[in-house]
Amino acid sequence: MGTIYGDALKSGGKFDFSGANVTVDDLPIGVYAWDANGTLIGREADPGEYGSNVISGTLTKGSYVRFDGIDWIVANVSGNTYTLMLKKMTETTTFGSSTSYSGSTITSKCTTFQNAMSANALSVVNSKTVQSVTAEVWIATRSDIESWTDSNDQTSSAWSGIRKWTGSSEDDYAVKDIYSYWCSDPDGSGRVWAVAYIGLFVNDNGPSYARGFRPCIEVVQ
């Protein structure tokens, strides 16, 4: 297999791989691969692009990165494993018909989100069991979020990215009028925990209420 690194290649450019004379016509910048017969296999995705299994950005807690064409915030770091939370909420959803995470509307949305990700990206995403549901895309529990953020350090990038946003107007973390997002665990009184835009955990509405959808993944790099 041959690989080219570099700038755009114009019409008529010829490259010899394993004895095969290959003509490259107006390829954009990138990494390309051919088989021994001179057939173009395709362009490899750059880090962060859809189809890449590499995160683009600084992998420190609270930083913003791009993975599989999606913008994320690094919620937690443990060795070479990085928990990523969707950076910006753009839609709301009910939790479901009950407080059970299994079989809920929100787990169905996680499945839809997962199915839209590339196979190459998912190859480096861990499966995680949350509330008895095992999947690559999941919703964090209240205790997860508490462990990722320090209430004594509310000026940190992790706090501001995970537990604080505007609500009444669009910002880096949510479109206008998303004031809370779902956790995955019930509060024990017929409701489900959520994170409010002011940084607090709330349980003021039942599972049929609409809140922000903010999925997470765990990536090994």
- Asked if 75 and 40 sit in the same domain, the reply is no
**Structural domain range at position 20:** 2-44
Question: Is residue 26 included in any domain, yes or no?
Answer: yes
Angstrom distance (rounded) from CA 110 to CA 107:
5
CA dihedral 104, 110, 113, 115 (to 10 degrees): -90
pLDDT class of 28 with cuts at 50, 70, 90: low
Indicate the number of domains in the chain: 2
Residue 21 pLDDT > 60: no
61-93: per-residue pLDDT in tens?
A: 999 999 999 999 999 999 999 999 999 999 999
- Asked if 85 and 7 sit in the same domain, the reply is no
- Supply the pLDDT for residue 45: 84
189-200: per-residue pLDDT in tens?
A: 999 999 999 999
Question: Is residue 49 included in any domain, yes or no?
Answer: no
- Supply the pLDDT for residue 12: 43
Strands 201-202 and 192-196 come out as: antiparallel
Question: Is residue 194 included in any domain, yes or no?
Answer: yes
What's the predicted TM-score (pTM) here?
Answer: 0.83
- Supply the pLDDT for residue 13: 46
- Supply the pLDDT for residue 1: 39
- Supply the pLDDT for residue 68: 97
